[in-house]
Structure 1
Amino acid sequence: MTAVISRSAVRAAPAPQGRDVFIDVLRLFGMALVVLQHWSMPVLSFSDGRISTGNALSAGGAWVVTWISQVMPLVFFAGGAANAISWRGSVRRGGTVPAWLAVRLRRLVWPVLPLAAVWLPLPHLLQALGLPEQPVVTASRLAGQLLWFLAVYLVAVAVTPSMLRLNMLYGWRVPVVLTAGAVVVDVARFTTGLEVVGFLNIALVWLAVHQLGFLYADGRLSRPWAMALTGYGLAAALVAFGPYPGSMIGMPGAAVSNMAPPTIALLAVAFGQIGLALALRRWIVALAEWPGVSRVLAWAAPRMMTVYLWHMSALTIVTSVVVVGLGVSTPEPGTSAWLSGWPHWLLMLSLAMSPLLRCFSRFETPPQASPYAGGTARIVVAVALAGTGLLVLTVIGFVPGTAPVLGAGMLVAGLALTWSAPRLQPAARPSVESP
């Protein structure tokens, strides 16, 4: 996409000026709910050197909670709106696609480096201290699984300029086509039994949700209650009459997951969630303007990525002490013991998170760098390296071996390619006065 086309697109549908409080709240709310869900779900016990894990939301009809608590659709939607506003602002300032991508890639990858620096040697150290191998390997995998979001989101960021151009030309037809593609993928997946086909929906489903963020930035999302009812209604029908489970997160032992890979049932819930959020937008913005709430939002915004990346490490710390060290298993979900113990569990996790937040939030913002001047090919390689590195760490985690080291090395290499040496200004010639 050329700068000329981009500027014409901006004129056709100007992006909002400044920050959008509603989008900021959605991103923070989404990340906070992800953390709360991850901290509340585990059902843990330790015996004979092995840790057993279960999911509290698999009990009874608790899966209904996931239709609200699975908030990654809201995060991708808010990311789409934020990327549209950011890219259009860059175009108005005369920016280029490679330079914009370099900045976005640095912001995504830089906070991951301390996570890798800690977790690459940590499993070796823990095993050397005599800890059983299985709990160490389990924790090492979980520490990396969170990076799936950054891997997929990096792809969404990389195609933002091109997808925005399609948005300007075709509007609603773009997410409709992506949704139709997701339907075809699901039909192929469930009729042929080839689960690998379903992984195409990682791109189709999340890009469709990301594209809805573009439409919001353009002011082209209307009738939110109709969106909410349609989305949730379709999801209910798909669960009732289709091959889809009710839970919007993966459950232990489930034959099908709506999340990995994503299905059209999850996409329908995403449509419903976005409609519901838009219907409540006026009240959300009003609440965000309350002095106490605005202070909390201002404090949380520059720490959001740190909390996301390190909250499973806090879970590992508490589990190591309480479940493995003291032998205290989590109570049966839904019982009075579980309900009364849940606030204490969250308090312990928050206390474990506090020093991690103080230590690593400084890496939230990458160091200042000279404007990128490396060209398109170089930034494409940088995105490919960083995306592959994130994918490797997502699949393998930080389990002892060469693969996590290679994944972390790809992250470093991709990040290094986004920096350009400062341009030296030519020295001014001394003036020569006429005699």
Structure 2
Amino acid sequence: MVTATPPLRRMSPRHRRPVPSRRPAPRPLTGRDRGIELVRALCIVVIVSLHALQLGVTADASGAVLDYTPAGAAWYPPLTWFLQVMPLFFVIGGFAGLHARRRGAARGTTAAGFVAGRVHRLLVPALLSILTAGPVLALLGAGDGIAPQILADAAARYGQPLWFLGVFLACQALLPAMLAAHERAPRRSLAALVAAAVLVDALRVAGGVEAFGYLNLAAVWLALQQAGFHLAEGRIDALPRSVRAGAGIGALVLLAVACAAGVFSPDLVENLNPPTSALLLLGTAQVAVFSLLRPQITALAAHPRVAAPTEFVSARAMTIYLWNLPVLLVMAAAGALLTASTGLEMPAPSTAAWWIGRPLWIALALLGTAAVAAVIGGLERRPMPPATDSPARAAQAVLLAVLGVGLVLAAGSGPLAIALGAPLLVLALLRIRAAAPVASVGSDAPDASAAAPAGLAR
């Protein structure tokens, strides 16, 4: 028997229920997000601690030796699942960049002006670090007290953090274009970058050409930055808790399976060079945890005893990032001198005696880096001069900066490489200046959101 369906009643416009939009409305531009700032500060502490675990000094028959202490250590790969925070850095960079770009646009700042502000805030503290390292390495090399291999190792260790400077600057330079793509198609723009990263990994594994993976310098980090846009607009927090928890757990399970199958290294620090889509899975889990705990994190960040150190790190984050390894190298040199003068042997990495000394070693690294940041950290808060509105000049500045950093890294961060790379950074800073004296209307200079690896979320 067929039952007739009653005719639909036509409702008047005033009785029609509004159809909710599938796309959540962007959050209004508000003040500082202290929860984001706290997480970013904690990430920087984690990075300094990780570097302190990685660098040590021992002595053999030939003298003092700089050690990469996790080499062959079974305890290290599992630890990197907790200490690899670069994916979260780039997510927070996207979060901060979205707010900074929209605030700047509301004040009349052009995309070129935004990029110029990023170049200034990243390169000024970096240039001081590079210009200090060059003469110091040259003076040490001119003497007879330090073995050439030790000096070469020290230069290489010094240059390690600089990879971030070039990659993050390139991502921030592309942020206005990537934000425009996000505003047109938020899901598709993110999905396209994720798909590109997975495709690069598939081709890398299938072809056995590891260098092919360096194409993910764009796809992986831009995808994480793009995820930061979603976080900034509240799209992730708007998802049901079960969805966020399931996404985080699912990403970790998939990552574990891929590592067990040999697709990715279980040492997640190794997945930085070249970057792999393992970082996207890890970043998914990190964002899920942050989103689920965000109310508690925000409440904790408001506590005065937490807010003060968070503010200290936030205001000097790029300085801390760039100077923590030089501080560690000085500590290692002091250890080598102690060994040479007293005959006291340094404990071998991963031994019980080595682990007993790690808390003190990490604490000294944190305190030493904080002391340096307290003295010279004000440099990254200096207002920039009137910035160019020329897209061509801004693009040239970014290319010069990336080329200069790449040159320092490729040539081993020695004195000669620094002597060649530093002038390119100076030229980059000169290119972002306005061609003629003008009023700095809508400048991003007071905005500290690019003064650190993840950007200061405001």
**TM band (smaller chain):** 0.7 to 0.9
Could you give the per-residue CA deviations for residues 232-287 of structure 1, whole angstroms, max 9, x where no partner exists?
1110111122332211013xxxxxxx120011222211111111111111111111
Kept in 2: contact 1:21–1:285 (CA 8 A): yes
Give 1:115's aligned residue. Answer: 129
Aligned residue runs from structure 1 range 275-314, under 5 A: 275-314=288-327
CA shift, 1:49, in A, is: 4.7
- Cα offset, 1:41, TM superposition: 2.3
Question: Does residue 384 of structure 1 match 2:399?
Answer: yes
**Structure 2 vs 1, CA of residues 94 and 12 (structure 1 numbering), >3 Å: closer, same or farther?**
farther
Higher relative contact order (CA 8 A, sep 6+): 2
1:263 corresponds to: 276
Q: Residue 43 of structure 1 contacts residue 331 of structure 1 at CA under 8 Å; is this kept in 2? A: no
After TM superposition, the score normalised by the length of structure 1 is: 0.88
What are the Cα deviations for residues 325-374 of structure 1, in whole angstroms up to 9, with x where unaligned? 5255653444431232112212433454354223321212234412x244
Distance in 2 (CA, whole Å) between partners of 1:348 and 1:23 is: 26
Are the aligned partners of 2:137 and 2:155 in contact in 1 as well (CA < 8 Å)?
yes
Match of 2:256 among 236, 247, 256: 236
Equivalent position SS for 2:57: strand
In structure 1, give the amino acid aligned to 2:107.
R
CA 1:58–1:81: 2 relative to 1, 3 Å = farther
1:172 aligns with 2:192: no
Contact 2:58-2:348 within 8 A present in 1 as well: no
Larger radius of gyration: 2
Q: Secondary structure at the match of 1:45?
A: strand
Whole-angstrom distance in 1 between the partners of 2:57 and 2:335: 10
**CA 1:291–1:52: 2 relative to 1, 3 Å:** closer
Residue 432 of structure 1 aligns with which residue? Answer: none
* Distance (whole Å) between structure 2 residues aligned to residue 26 and residue 338 of structure 1: 29
From the superposition, tell whether residues 373 and 245 of structure 1 become closer, same or farther in structure 2 (CA, over 3 Å): closer
For 2:428, the equivalent position in structure 1 comes to 414
- Against the structure 1 CA distance between its residues 373 and 316, is the aligned structure 2 distance closer, same or farther, given a 3 Å change threshold? closer
Given the alignment, which residue of 159, 175, 182 partners 1:144?
Answer: 159
Please give the alpha-carbon distance, in whole angstroms, between the structure 2 residues aligned to 1:89 and 1:155: 21
SS at match of 1:102: helix
In structure 2, the gaps of 5 or more residues are: 1-23, 440-458
Superposition map of 1:36-435 within 5 A: 36-47=49-60, 48-49=62-63, 51-56=65-70, 58-130=72-144, 131-221=146-236, 222=239, 223-250=243-270, 258-327=271-340, 330-370=346-386, 372-401=387-416, 403-420=417-434, 421-423=436-438
Conservation of the 8 A alpha-carbon contact between 2:29 and 2:103: no
Name the CA shift for 1:122/1:44 in 2 (closer, same or farther; >3 Å).
same
Q: Secondary structure at the match of 1:208?
A: helix
Aligned residues: 405
The 8 Å contact of residues 209 and 270 in structure 1, kept in 2 or not, is answered as yes
Identity rate of aligned residues, in percent? 32
Bigger mean CA deviation after superposition, 46-55 or 282-291 = 46-55
Superposed CA deviations along residues 1-55 of structure 1, whole A, max 9, x for unmatched, are: xxxxxxxxxx973543122222212221111111111012234323315624233
- Contact 2:190–2:223 under 8 Å retained in 1: yes
TM-score normalized by the length of structure 2: 0.83
Q: Is the 8 A contact 2:404 2:422 kept in 1?
A: yes
Which letter maps to 1:181? A
Tell me if the contact between 2:64 and 2:336 (Cα under 8 Å) persists in the aligned partners. Answer: no
Structure 1 counterpart of 2:277, which letter? I
Distance in 2 (alpha carbons) for counterparts of 1:271 and 1:111: 31
Q: 1:94 to 1:244 in 2, by over 3 A?
A: same
1:262 alignment partner AA: P
